[in-house]
Chain A
């Protein structure tokens, strides 16, 4: 397994990995000392040179984002960490925060120093109390050891860090909806421009970054640009967390250089569950167009996945074998988007409702072949015509599944209903029958 790395995951096996003493024993907060001796602009330049790209889905270069914050403007600046992790399939930030919250806090202090923010926020989803506890405790311990608050490590730099629990709304992961939510409003996306770098939280210059992006920064400061860029591919540098779930023998988190393939990841996960074969998978969560067994050797980096017609997204690889009905899978995702649509714009609010109706009919075997084209037509009127990327995500599973599995949709019509046995797809299929 020469491909694997352990940076973010290195201490997860230790029973005290989440404590400040455990983290410091293993070298934690050393990168912070180093960063505070650099000039803030040098930190930004280093992160730019590393090529680190955002791990929250869009892959925007992190150092460039930091560089957009206007300096010398006499305004407060803010760093807001996106820990909302709600994209279906995505399950990397949660184990990271549970096992190693201090690596995020160290990254936050470094990033805030670089962009000259004196108040940072972590917007964490509210549906996992134990992760909230771990981060709460980590912040408390960082304050007690003077890693947060006034004059951090004698540098003259001050930072307050506030943890803010969400309350169950996928759309609050979208960065501008997140800012509205954090300001105490309903979480609905804002018109851009202005971008958060100019007018973000409280209309002040703000950087919003994903947990994994910020947590990757201490190791880059510690080990340098050459170390980071020695991993990954030409435009997708470094390492990342890939999350395998579904019909694989051993699901879980795999930290690897960008560009590893599903074939290689499946080998680590022990393959598809015994006696079954791969049918379809998402490369980066449910909002990224699905792939099939034709795509086992696509390099899982930003360019490789895009060239094959999807997106690396959050590297959430949800794996389904041949027992899974594509129409059922897509209908369920569509119901999710309908439920989570914030209602701000019509194509998404009304369109996702129509999509659910159309798919539910098809699943039940009602309708005709022309309805498949109607479905695509609906998608065409929703994706790219709505206010935010949630709507594009809603169309992705439908369009891509019709591309690869049109025949299976038709089978539902010919069959007068779903030809699959849902019990066969469950993990405990034996014990149910």
Chain B
């Protein structure tokens, strides 16, 4: 495996990732996110190249990659959907949403729609329980979902017009683009979107309304 499969710009970015850490091995996770941003998933050549860069055996990089659920070993859709089916979201409607989307997309866990546009998995608690039931797409928040709203998302995403996240950028970015943010490269969209959703402001707005400050 040579570096010929990576552009010099990509290799520069990998070197920038490594330079963030006192010890190079710490770069393995952001490098795996970065490989996902290039290929959409963690490829064998990506693993081998990370091993070379960090002076690790392929098996060592593989061991890390296989430990974490966000690293995919096969392609996902351009819009990767996660439905929270941990207890709270499941009870509030997550189970119903997940089964409806499974029928609609015609895929099983981690499966991809035939057109390659959308893929589906069920996910664990995503730290937004006050917005249940929660759907994540490319790891952006879609709060307070219903079966209808989730199905509508899938339909629109298939025609290339996915609705925007509820707490996120104005326009949904692709799986690969968001993977690059996770690798530590800014896309300049931090200032888009709201500061806080309604639920986040529950106590604060109650306090202001009762004039107690």
Interface residues of A (CB under 8 A from B): 1-2, 4-6, 9-19, 76, 85-91, 93-95, 98-99, 119, 125-130, 132-134, 136-138, 140, 162-170, 181-187, 202, 242-247, 250-256, 268-269, 286, 316, 318, 320, 324, 328-329, 332-333, 336, 339-340, 422-423, 425-428, 431-432
Contact = CB atoms under 8 A, between A and B. Distances in A.
A21 to B, nearest CB: 11
Contacts of A426: 91-93, 96
B123 to A, nearest CB: 7
12 contacts: A6-B213, A76-B22, A87-B125, A88-B125, A136-B190, A164-B29, A169-B67, A183-B23, A184-B26, A329-B87, A332-B90, A336-B125
A256 B204 CA distance: 10
A59 B136 CA distance: 31
B1 interface: no
B4 to A, nearest CB: 26
B200 interface: yes
A128 B85 CA distance: 17
Interface in B90-145: 90-93, 95-96, 123-133, 136, 138-141
Contacts of B194: 15
Nearest to A316: B129
Nearest to A248: B130
Contacts of B205: 13
Interface string B186-208: 11011101111111111111111
A169 B70 CA distance: 9
B164 to A, nearest CB: 11
Contacts of A1: 206-207, 210, 212
Interface in B139-193: 139-141, 146-148, 165, 167-169, 173, 178, 181-184, 186-187, 189-191, 193
Given A86-B124, A134-B190, A12 B195 contact: yes
Contact of B22 (A132, A186, A202, A252): A202
B96 A432 contact: yes
Given A162-B20, A202-B22, A128 B127 contact: yes
Interface residues on chain B, size class: 35 or more
Given A13-B204, A133-B187, A184-B54, 10 more contacts: A86-B124, A90-B125, A133-B169, A165-B30, A165-B33, A182-B26, A286-B87, A336-B125, A426-B93, A428-B146
A13 B196 contact: yes
A244 B86 CA distance: 16
A-B pairs with the 6 shortest C-beta distances?
Answer: A252-B202, A137-B190, A254-B203, A245-B129, A167-B68, A252-B199
Contacts of A166: 29, 68, 70
A367 B172 CA distance: 48
Contacts of A85: 127
Given A128-B139, A162-B20, A339-B124, A133 B186 contact: yes
Contacts of B136: 127-128
B88 interface: yes
Contacts of B93: 426-428
A318 B124 contact: no
Interface in B37-65: 54, 63-64
A207 B23 CA distance: 18
Contact of A18 (B138, B195, B212): B195
Given A332-B86, A423-B96, A253 B124 contact: no
B198 A252 contact: yes
Given A129-B182, A244-B130, A332-B86, A253 B33 contact: no
A6 B204 contact: yes
B86 A19 contact: no
A425 B183 CA distance: 39
B20 to A, nearest CB: 5
A256 B193 CA distance: 27
